[in-house]
Amino acid sequence: MTVSAADPLGGFAEYPDPLHAPCEGIYHAPSDQIYVEEIVNPGSNGNIGSLGVLDPVTGEIARYPLPVPGTTAGGAAFGPDGKLWFTYFGASSGVAFLDPDTRLFNAFPTPSPNSTPTDIWPGPDNAMYFTESIAQNLGRIDLTTHQITEVPIPGGGLNVPTTIIMPGAGAKMMFSAALANRIVEYDTATGEFTHHDVPTPGAVPQGLTLGADGAIWFSETLGAKIGRIDPISGDITEYPIATPEVPVPSMGPLVLGSDGNLWSANGGFTGGSTIGRFDTTTHHIDYFPLPRPGSGPCDIDSVAAATGKLVIGQTTGGAIAVAEIEELNAIK
């Protein structure tokens, strides 16, 4: 049994999940439970990872080993069908879902066996879109037929290693090509790709989100900046985010909060331990320390943030942290 902190520390309540490297927490509003992507949880079928279901009232986590041997989960998101969809990779590659009602899995291998899909998100056309880092494809699974199609991403080879995918404006999906140092948009209606090269060399753009102003905002993990792509001109403006308090932010995922600010998980696998709040009008950033040092916040749930709740997976810290945006804003 795991239990949460009796009282929030610095605005954050924590739910320990030791030895399982929780990377992502996905808030499920209908049940008020949090689904947890656990990178490490060897099971009897030879798998590597699991999905957990955290009850915030009791702090208990029910674990469900992944159904495909030798695999762990990549990104995860609830689809319009109500299922928790996730990518998996390792001994094989594919996408799968966990049914919240039955707690049963269904897995669908990708046509490219070693595609290594990394992230997944619902598109505008009754489908889930996912990025394939090794195969260099953009994948799509139809939620009615469960048929998978793959579209090669222009650039080829290791020029476009894809990471985080999110919905863009209109019929577009957008994803970060971290090592190629660019943000890419894909029009699901026309099949057209648009590349946005980041001005700072080697910035490693990762987290990205559609801002309240209609612009694409993204984090630069090594560039120590937040970037903005103008929705009309495509021009990129960059804003430094290093402060004396946090000289090396190592900013990862970026989400739009219910307050109109951008919130970020900073540290990831580098052992950082802060959450950032960036004002898109003043371009000022504040950092909030997580309760445990070196917690390595890996991801932050964008759907929960839109409703006023921050749900953060702390990979090296072995815990899920939860905070109310309103309460953090009252602190500073």
- Percent residues over pLDDT 70 in the chain: 94
- pLDDT tens column, 76-101: 999 999 999 999 999 999 999 999 99
Given a cut of 60, whether residue 223 has pLDDT beyond it is yes
Q: pLDDT at position 181, please?
A: 93
Q: What is the pTM of this model?
A: 0.94
Given a cut of 80, whether residue 57 has pLDDT beyond it is yes
Mean pLDDT to the nearest integer, 33-38:
96
Mean pLDDT to the nearest integer, 216-242:
96
Band (pLDDT 50/70/90 cuts) for residue 44 is low
CA distance 302 to 316: 21
Band (pLDDT 50/70/90 cuts) for residue 176 is very high
Instruction: State residue 305 phi and psi, 5-degree precision.
Output: -60, -35
- Percent residues over pLDDT 90 in the chain: 84
Given a cut of 50, whether residue 9 has pLDDT beyond it is yes
Answer with the residue of higher pLDDT: 141 or 44.
141
Q: pLDDT at position 274, please?
A: 95
Q: pLDDT at position 5, please?
A: 42
**In 140-157, which positions are buried (b, 16+ CB within 10 angstroms) versus exposed (e)?**
bbebeeeebebeebebee
- pLDDT tens column, 119-139: 999 999 999 999 999 999 999
Q: pLDDT at position 269, please?
A: 63
CA distance 268 to 218: 16
Non-local CB neighbours of 78 within 8 Å, separated by 6+ positions: 26, 28, 84, 85, 122, 303
Q: In the chain, what are the domain boundaries?
A: 12-42+244-332
Take residue 57 and report the two structure tokens written for it. 């009232």
Mean per-residue pLDDT of the chain? 92
- Among 214-218, 259-263, 295-299, the minimum mean pLDDT is found in 295-299
Mean pLDDT to the nearest integer, 153-166:
78
Torsion sign across C-alpha atoms 204, 247, 210, 30? positive
- pLDDT tens column, 258-286: 999 999 999 876 778 999 999 999 999 99
Given a cut of 50, whether residue 6 has pLDDT beyond it is no
Given a cut of 50, whether residue 2 has pLDDT beyond it is no
CA distance 210 to 252: 15
